[in-house]
């Protein structure tokens, strides 16, 4: 009778760890901090998701120039004109 208790405890611990990791992954993804935390796992198990995430980051960092050369502040002898 006592032989199944350790096995049941091991299964319960295993289920608890897996459920805890699943909850943590869900929480991290909802908060939007999954890039640094899960980026390595995305590259290993879901390479297309990692490539998409990298492309989105590149496009977010890539900005149009805010000022054109004709609108830049002047300096030098012709600054007041």
* Nearest-angstrom CA–CA distance, 63 and 52: 18
Q: Is pTM, for the whole model, over 0.85?
A: no
* Nearest-angstrom CA–CA distance, 61 and 18: 36
Q: What is the largest CA-CA distance in the chain?
A: 97
Per-residue pLDDT of the chain (81 residues; tens, 9 = 90+): 678 899 999 999 999 999 999 998 888 778 766 666 667 777 788 788 778 878 888 887 776 656 566 666 666 666 655
* Nearest-angstrom CA–CA distance, 25 and 12: 20
Q: What is the per-residue DSSP string for 51-65? A: HHHHHHHHHHH----
């Amino acid at each position: 009778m006592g032989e199944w208790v350790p096995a049941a405890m091991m299964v319960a611990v295993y289920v608890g760890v897996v459920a805890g990791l699943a909850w943590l992954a869900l929480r991290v993804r909802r908060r939007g901090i999954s890039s640094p935390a899960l980026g390595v796992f995305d590259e290993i198990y879901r390479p297309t998701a990692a490539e998409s995430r990298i492309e989105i980051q590149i496009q977010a960092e890539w900005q149009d120039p805010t000022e054109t050369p004709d609108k830049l502040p002047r300096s030098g002898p012709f600054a007041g004109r």
